[in-house]
């Protein structure tokens, strides 16, 4: 016995290193705090893109122990300064992320307390916080309070959950798959296709809707297709609309599609991962009319609410349709059974059991700031997108149609070389420069440069800087390559 105790005491000397003393905690935090401050202070002048590779050897777990200040140096060089700087306001490509400071503090608190956010029994407070966020989302999007919901890691898992509910509600089992039909658009996000495949609907019939000139689903044509498919003995069961497509930020006609889905008894899923929160703005509220008709709805707080990466959300009106797939129990779970009735038990509406307390990173900023600065930020992005397009025209660029939201595209109408060649080269040089970041896409067969204004740090001066860079590179193309 004494020997056993002696052994335990000996080993504790090593294991207790995982619990640093207060002095060390203060010291470590100070290092992190200083680096975080300099990172934020330098963001305005730091590069937003660098195509340099990170050093695998230096980042290897096996590279040996290292002090925190040294590690911060490694992090700075090998992580923060490589690739896309997603925290930068000069990130105007893909769908820019957020990263508001208050969420980082919430994450710190969530990690230190390590609340178990999967079950009410384990952390009633964490589960209530998550439910209250979902309730707030329900009120924003006109959903009934009885709807189920989940905070997910992002839009992809949120879509997966919504589509699983659609499948369950319509009882799409193996024998029905080959004649069941889903309606979507070529501009539907690719995570929808991925989700359909994951949930066993790979062999479903997919009808790509006709689009109007602004790349939105033509509702009338879609209704016609449903009628035809029904007449042909098929089983239409799901309409998917997007409120803010990734390519051009287009909002499908939500109200019309909602009516069509209701009339034909189809599940109505809306992916508003990028665009959803613009409903909070007076200017665009009307565009979202009909969003309340959705059976399932996806939004991404890590996009339109400027939360750091790792937070999406799904709402589903029919609770049983979701829990049918996700509510499970087991002997080792018996203590927590039936702990709640009116709240949504997180583990019952998600593939996850143990989960990060991600509600706190949404709740804390909303409680501290209120919603007003979030809404102002969204309105600001709409105005900046508009301003950007005007400034681009002034320096001779063509821009895509007036966008519904804050994503648009542009290209230079070269007279000396093929337009695609010119714009590819232009983007290549913009990437090399690294002080502003855009991505590209293909619209109607044409290579175009995409601009997406969604970072809370994108300001008027950011757009002015971007215009200056684009124009300088345009002049350089003329000077060095003879491109006009």
Ligand X SMILES: *Cc1c(COP(=O)(O)O)cnc(C)c1O
What's the closest the beta carbon of residue 458 comes to ligand X, in angstroms? 17
What's the closest the beta carbon of residue 77 comes to ligand X, in angstroms? 27
**Comparison of 120 and 306: residue with beta carbon closer to ligand X:** 306
What's the closest the beta carbon of residue 246 comes to ligand X, in angstroms? 4
**Comparison of 155 and 346: residue with beta carbon closer to ligand X:** 155
What's the closest the beta carbon of residue 1 comes to ligand X, in angstroms? 55
**Comparison of 214 and 391: residue with beta carbon closer to ligand X:** 214
**Comparison of 95 and 360: residue with beta carbon closer to ligand X:** 95
**Comparison of 247 and 348: residue with beta carbon closer to ligand X:** 247
Using CB under 6 A, list all residues that contact ligand X. 95, 154-156, 189, 191, 242, 246, 271, 273-274, 300, 312
**Comparison of 123 and 164: residue with beta carbon closer to ligand X:** 164
**Comparison of 28 and 208: residue with beta carbon closer to ligand X:** 208
What's the closest the beta carbon of residue 65 comes to ligand X, in angstroms? 35
- Sign of the Cα torsion 151, 152, 153, 159 reads negative
What's the closest the beta carbon of residue 303 comes to ligand X, in angstroms? 6
What's the closest the beta carbon of residue 191 comes to ligand X, in angstroms? 5
Residue nearest to ligand X (CB): 155
**Comparison of 242 and 281: residue with beta carbon closer to ligand X:** 242
What's the closest the beta carbon of residue 253 comes to ligand X, in angstroms? 16
Q: What are the CA-CA distances from residue 457 to residues 33, 50, 243, 275, 353 (Å)? A: 20, 19, 23, 18, 34
């Amino acid at each position: 016995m004494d020997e056993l105790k002696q052994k335990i005491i000996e080993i504790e000397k090593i294991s207790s290193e995982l619990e640093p003393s207060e002095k060390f905690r203060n010291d470590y935090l100070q290092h992190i705090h200083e680096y975080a401050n300099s990172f934020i202070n330098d963001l305005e002048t730091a590069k937003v893109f660098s195509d340099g590779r990170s050093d695998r050897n230096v980042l290897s777990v096996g590279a040996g122990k290292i002090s925190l200040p040294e590690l911060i140096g490694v992090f700075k060089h090998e992580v923060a300064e490589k690739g896309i700087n997603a925290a930068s306001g000069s990130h105007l490509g893909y769908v820019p992320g957020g990263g508001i400071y208050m969420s980082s503090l919430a994450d710190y608190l969530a990690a230190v307390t390590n609340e178990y956010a999967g079950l009410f029994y384990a952390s009633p407070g964490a589960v209530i916080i998550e439910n209250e966020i979902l309730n707030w989302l329900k009120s924003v999007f006109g959903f009934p309070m009885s709807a189920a919901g989940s905070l997910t890691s992002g839009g992809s898992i949120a879509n997966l959950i919504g589509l699983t509910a659609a499948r369950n509600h319509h009882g799409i089992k193996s024998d029905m798959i080959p004649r069941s039909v889903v309606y979507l658009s070529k501009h539907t996000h690719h995570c929808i296709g991925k989700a359909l495949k994951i949930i066993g609907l790979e062999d479903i019939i997919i009808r790509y809707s006709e689009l109007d000139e602004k790349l939105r689903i033509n509702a009338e044509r879609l209704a016609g297709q449903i009628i035809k498919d029904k007449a042909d003995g098929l089983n239409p069961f799901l309409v998917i609309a997007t409120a803010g497509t990734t390519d051009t930020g287009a909002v499908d006609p939500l109200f019309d599609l909602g009516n069509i889905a209701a009339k034909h008894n189809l599940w109505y899923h809306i992916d508003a991962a990028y665009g959803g929160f613009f409903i909070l703005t007076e200017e665009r509220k009307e565009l979202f009319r009909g969003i309340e008709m959705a059976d399932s709805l996806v939004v991404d707080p890590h996009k339109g609410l400027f939360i750091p990466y790792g937070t999406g959300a799904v709402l589903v009106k029919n609770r049983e349709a979701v829990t049918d797939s996700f509510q499970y129990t087991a002997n080792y779970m018996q203590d927590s059974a039936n702990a709640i009735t009116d709240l949504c038990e997180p583990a019952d509406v998600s593939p996850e059991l143990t989960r990060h307390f991600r509600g706190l990173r949404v709740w804390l900023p909303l409680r501290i700031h209120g919603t007003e600065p979030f809404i102002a930020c969204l309105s600001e992005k709409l105005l900046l997108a508009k301003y950007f397009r005007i400034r681009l025209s002034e320096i001779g660029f063509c821009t895509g149609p007036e966008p519904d939201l804050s994503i648009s595209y542009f290209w230079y109408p070269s007279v000396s070389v093929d337009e695609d060649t010119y714009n590819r080269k232009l983007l290549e040089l913009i990437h090399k420069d690294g002080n502003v970041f855009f991505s590209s896409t293909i619209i109607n067969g044409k290579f175009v440069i995409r601009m997406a204004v969604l970072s809370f740090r994108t300001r008027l001066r950011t757009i002015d800087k971007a215009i200056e860079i684009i124009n300088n590179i345009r002049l350089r193309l003329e000077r060095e390559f003879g491109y006009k």
